[in-house]
Amino acid sequence: MFIESRELLMKHKIPVVKTERYWKGLEEGKVYKTVCKNCGEEYYPPIAECLCGGEVEWVEIEGEGVVEAFTTVHTIPAGFEWYGKPYTIAIARFGNVRVMGWAENVKVGDRLRLKTGKDKTGVWKVYFEVV
Amino acid sequence: MRVGIIGVGCSKFGRRDDVTIQELSYEAVKEALDDAGLSRNDVDISVVGSVNTRGYELMPAVPVNEYCGFAGKGPIRVEAACATGAAAVYTAYTSIASKMADVAIAIGVEKMTEVDTATSLAIGGRGGNYLWEFHQYGTTFPAYYAMHASAHMAKYGTTEEQLAKVAVKAHRNAAKNPKAHFRKEISVEDVLNSRYITYPLKLYDCSPISDGSSAAILASEEKIRELGIDDVVWIESVGYASDTSNMTRRESFVGLKATVLAREMAYRRAGIEGPIKEFDIATVHDCFTIAEIMAYEDLGFCRKGEGGRLIESGETDLGGKIPVNTFGGLKAKGHPLAATGVAMVYEIVKQLRGEARELQVDLKNYRGLLHNVGGTGHFAYVMVLRR
Ligand SMILES: [Zn+2]
């Protein structure tokens, strides 16, 4: 015998004040990392404060990256049913940083370029294009 | 100050529609108390390890603690994703080593089947860094390990057949473990023919979504003498480490750095130089088949890239040089997150005492190795146990 629990829905408001440049950048087709002017550390995902205390600058990630890992998700989690088919997630290296994005028909070692786009749910993200 | 394990318990793993989280906990606690020959009043402090982001009881420590008869003693609630069990044991260990308690119980419990699979995947997929991963890209927990599998296969030529052999071994052992979630042997073909969950991992490469509980009672050497207990499994050393929440901040995807760091700490403290020769049994974190292959390498059973060949050699089977996951592993025994690490203690204690029946390993060193990972190498614990 079961008793059904009361429904609990959670939808959060996530503050992106410190990384606003990144999210705005996606809408302009740009993907930013941050680079510390003091120690040279590069951050992706970008963070607005370096652990060394130095000031960071926002630098666009450009050029070609190389796929280091990928997977195609067939069993879809709640929140992604809208996509309606399997999707491929890849991690590619662009110089000193690694970037996650959606891709199609990739394998490890492939060379990629970055672009950005808005999905059906209004979320902006990185899409990779095989070179 | 030496700390010993004097009692262990473990529930039947699987879909447990018959119990709530607290009722499930008590199955393991009761067995552990009986095993130690203690009453609940002998326990000074309880540590309740539970992730329970899938259960209706979001703050389960107090209900669990009350039901098990420890109201008034603790509880300390511990969460370290899939390494919660080892983290709970570590917390119990430190409370004794610091002389804040003489007897402590570590309880690991998880109810995972109260929500549907899609919801479970969406929760597991949050086990990284939500905004930068799940929110944008729909990472699932299997997907994180699948990415590692793709990297390992590309770099070292590891094959889907080799991954399948990990699952076959796990099911073969679990078939003889009455507490395991899966009790059926499978073949390499069964694994290869199963559907993709997240390429390159297929259904049989993945541990199931399980309910389960486990418990371990730890005591100080002084207290153990006072109680007149002479058959003790000692915690010889513990290593712990962690890594970045973001996968994109990792240096490589062919292994888990946290495992390597935790292993170095644990081996150094126990003076382990050749793990294959020095351990009679190892429990490694095989939530997915690729995880066991990487664990072989990161724990020093073989060189990096040779894990696939090690599973093929049969040396990690029962009767091999270093039997691994003799009770069926996470893969087939089941993986109720927080219960897993404490169930590894249960397995090693049963093996070192010679109480593992059909699954008994040969005892030469009376030493066992425990390796419990949280998330995708977000946490790692390595422990050396010795009877
Ligand atoms: Zn800096």
The answer to whether residue A2 scores a pLDDT higher than 90 is yes
Residue A19: both structure tokens together: 């990384």
Residues A73, A108: one domain? yes
* Test the B interface: residue of A1, A16, A51, A73 with most B CBs within 10 Å: A73
What is the total count of domains within chain B? 1
Is B138 part of a structural domain of the chain?
Answer: no
- Which residue in B375, B8, B2 sits closest to B215, CA to CA? B8
Pairing mode, strands B201-202 and B196-199: antiparallel
- Give the minimum alpha-carbon distance from A75 to chain B in angstroms, rounded to a whole number: 5
A108 touches chain B (CB under 8 A): yes
pLDDT of residue B1: 82
Distance CA B38, CA B228 (A): 12
Is B276 part of a structural domain of the chain?
Answer: no
Angle value at C-alpha A107, between A106 and A111, nearest 5 degrees: 75
Over residues B157-182, the pLDDT tens digits come to 999 999 999 999 999 999 999 999 99
Residues A72, A87: one domain? yes
pLDDT bin (cut points 50, 70, 90) of residue A13 is: very high
pLDDT bin (cut points 50, 70, 90) of residue B79 is: very high
Percent with pLDDT over 90 in chain B: 99
Residues A106, A123: one domain? yes
Which residues of B, range 17-56, sit inside 8 Å of A by Cβ?
17, 56
Is A23 part of a structural domain of the chain?
Answer: yes
Is A3 part of a structural domain of the chain?
Answer: no
Residues A85, A117: one domain? yes
Over residues B119-132, the pLDDT tens digits come to 999 999 999 999 99
Containing domain of residue B45, as a range?
3-115+209-227
Contact B118 A78 (CB under 8 A): yes
Residues A76, A37: one domain? no
Is B221 part of a structural domain of the chain?
Answer: yes
The answer to whether residue A43 scores a pLDDT higher than 90 is yes
The answer to whether residue B302 scores a pLDDT higher than 90 is yes
What is the total count of domains within chain A? 2
Which residues of B, range 150-179, sit inside 8 Å of A by Cβ?
150-151, 153-155
Residues A26, A80: one domain? no
Is A35 part of a structural domain of the chain?
Answer: yes
| Final residue belonging to a domain, choices A40, A60, A80 | A60
Task: Give strand pairing partners of A35.
Answer: A42, A57
Residues A22, A68: one domain? no
Q: How many residues does chain A have?
A: 131
Active site residue B335: yes
Is A6 part of a structural domain of the chain?
Answer: no
Is A2 part of a structural domain of the chain?
Answer: no
What is the value of pTM for the model shown?
Answer: 0.98
Residue of B136, B143, B201 with shortest CB distance to A125: B136
Is B103 part of a structural domain of the chain?
Answer: yes
pLDDT of residue A128: 98
ipTM: 0.97
Residues A68, A114: one domain? yes
Do residues B8 and B215 touch, judged by C-beta distance below 8 A? Answer: yes
**Which residue's structure tokens are 């390796």?**
B371
Is B7 part of a structural domain of the chain?
Answer: yes
The amino acid occupying position A70 is F
- Give the minimum alpha-carbon distance from A125 to chain B in angstroms, rounded to a whole number: 6
pLDDT bin (cut points 50, 70, 90) of residue B369 is: very high
The amino acid occupying position B340 is T
Is B59 part of a structural domain of the chain?
Answer: yes
What's A69's domain CATH number?
Answer: 2.40.50
Contact A71 B17 (CB under 8 A): no
Residues A72, A90: one domain? yes
Residues A123, A98: one domain? yes
Residues A114, A89: one domain? yes
Distance CA B169, CA B16 (A): 25
Contact B249 A2 (CB under 8 A): no
Is B44 part of a structural domain of the chain?
Answer: yes
Is A67 part of a structural domain of the chain?
Answer: yes
The residues, ordered by sequence, that sit 6+ positions from B121 with a Cβ below 8 Å of its Cβ are A75, A76, A77, A78, B140, B141, B142
Containing domain of residue A43, as a range?
14-60
Distance CA B107, CA B117 (A): 25
Pairing mode, strands B3-10 and B212-220: antiparallel
Do residues A5 and A21 touch, judged by C-beta distance below 8 A? Answer: no
The answer to whether residue B372 scores a pLDDT higher than 90 is yes
Q: Give the Å distances, CA to CA, from A100 to B222, B242, B358, B381.
A: 53, 21, 46, 27
Q: What is the pLDDT averaged over residues B53-79?
A: 96
Residues A116, A98: one domain? yes
- Among B181, B335, B371, B378, the active-site one is B335
Over residues A69-90, the pLDDT tens digits come to 999 999 999 999 999 999 999 9
Element (H, E) at A129: strand A124-130
- Give the minimum alpha-carbon distance from A99 to chain B in angstroms, rounded to a whole number: 6
Is B73 part of a structural domain of the chain?
Answer: yes
What's the gap between Cα B297 and its chain centre? 17
Secondary structure letter of residue B242 according to DSSP: E
What's B111's domain CATH number?
Answer: 3.40.47.10
